[in-house]
Amino acid sequence: MPARAVVLSVLLLVSPLLAQSDPPARPNIVLIVADDLGYGETGAQGATDIPTPNIDSIAKSGLRFTNGYVSCPYCAPTRAGMMTGRYQQRFGFEFNPLGVGQKGVPIGLPRTETTLAERLKPLGYATGMFGKWHLGSAPTLRPTNRGFDEFYGFLGGMHPYLPGPVTRDGPIYRENDPVDPPAYLTDALADEAVSFVQRHAEGPFFLYLPFNAGHSPLEATEKYLARFPKIADTRRRTFAAMLSAMDDGIGRVLGALRKADLEEETLVIFLSDNGGSVAENTSVNGPLRGHKIEVYEGGIRVPFMIQWKGTLPEGKTLDFPVSSLDIHPTTLAAAGGEAPEGLDGVNLLPFLLGQSEGVPHEVLCWRMGASRAIRMGDWKLVMLPRGDSELYDLSADIGETEDLSEAHPEQVETLRAAFDEWNSQMIEPRWGNAPGQGGRPRRK
């Protein structure tokens, strides 16, 4: 067993209080999030038309989850769950932040919730975020007030990639000051991330790099467009260029870790915030059904990879379900922190190191307005806005093509009862709008 794995094994057994006061190993943590990237859009996932060698290298040097899920098929709620390790429905963050808050309460991630950055800072971590926030634009809810020492990026849900007028989602900020937009935003975010690694090479650090690629608008520079002369569809060609730019940027961050001799000292995670938005950006979710906004697999199952050289196995594929909710407790455990009560995510390290049998999750649930789903083992129940339900056996039907609800009514009832039990613990959405469902939910 590698030396670091031995250290980590000891860490998992010692008292959390001892680990918190003097952790024997505190890896750097790099969390990279793509935006609206479909399940089938990287080489590691089987894509052939857009090379993604740097993203693929994370899977080759670590672990790839074939059943990696996010907690929502929509941007901001997934980020809220990922940052807190809790189902976002527990605190009313069910939709993207829209509208005006009630009684002066700003819209965004509530101050009652604790972010991963806020938990890592007391453990001695330098914290930096570069990219898309989407968890609140009020001053009290911005990254620099939610645990991040450094911030470069934007606060809303989308932003142009090329220089131009300030959008409704606001300017690019450095900390809390607007700055002139860069030549190409994806390159600028990678520049900032590389600089952060270089300046904090003595560690430990937490680098959160949520790219907005490949979210709309579809914009790319000629440098990246020139790589895909054979793609005739101009929208697909631009998306390919955007993905290629992000892959380059990820490669530069990984290169900075390598140059600083930090690869074995760094836990790297890559995933998408939800499935591809086929209509907006041409992203491919195959062989899955559905897309962003839907609770079919294409909306919630995403590329999901983790690398920690010298500690985790390399080049291995894992098939048990994992969730973006697991990122919070997993990285916190690696850092020597104590997971608080009330997290829905699971520390994956014992499962990844072969120290725990079974699977991290027997049940996973999704709710975004009237669109709802539950996975229990290989069975998945999809509860549609129009009121009917569909049952699928994902072990035999990854594409959700054969509805088995009439053949297995007992499974439908079992899963529905389990969902109702989970749902009874959640609260109603506090604000926002359910996409595609026509209107604002009732406020609580």
Looking at 85-161, list the stretches that DSSP marks H as alpha helix, in order from N- to C-terminal side: 116-120
**185 SS3 class:** helix
pLDDT at 10: 39
Q: Which residues contact 370 (CB under 8 A, 6 or more apart)?
A: 384, 385, 434, 437
Q: Report the distance separating Cα 52 and Cα 144, nearest Å.
A: 32
Q: Report the distance separating Cα 303 and Cα 399, nearest Å.
A: 16
Residues 52, 243 contacting (CB under 8 angstroms):
yes
- Looking at the predicted structure, is the pLDDT value of residue 20 above 50? no
225-261: pLDDT as tens digits: 999 999 999 999 999 999 999 999 999 999 999 999 9
Active site residues: 75, 134
Measuring CA to CA, how many Å separate 21 from each of 10, 105, 124, 416? 15, 36, 10, 44
pLDDT at 163: 85
Backbone angles phi, psi at 79, to 5 degrees: -65, -35
Once rounded to an integer, what is the mean pLDDT over residues 81-108? 84
DSSP of 351-392: HHTT-S-S-S-SEEEEEETTEEEEEETTEEEEE-TTS-EEEE
Q: Count how many residues are written for the chain.
A: 444
pTM score, whole prediction? 0.92
Q: What is the mean pLDDT of the chain?
A: 91
Q: Which two tokens stand for residue 145?
A: 């007030």
pLDDT at 12: 42
137-182: pLDDT as tens digits: 999 999 999 999 999 999 999 999 998 766 666 899 999 999 987 7
pLDDT at 387: 84
332-366: pLDDT as tens digits: 999 999 999 999 999 999 999 999 999 999 999 99
380-393: pLDDT as tens digits: 999 988 889 999 99
- Looking at the predicted structure, is the pLDDT value of residue 367 above 70? yes
pLDDT at 19: 33
Once rounded to an integer, what is the mean pLDDT over residues 274-302? 96
Domains plus CATH for the chain?
25-352 (3.40.720.10), 363-423 (3.30.1120.10)
Residues 214, 279 contacting (CB under 8 angstroms):
no
Residues 157, 134 contacting (CB under 8 angstroms):
yes
Measuring CA to CA, how many Å separate 368 from each of 73, 96, 283, 291, 412? 8, 10, 22, 14, 20
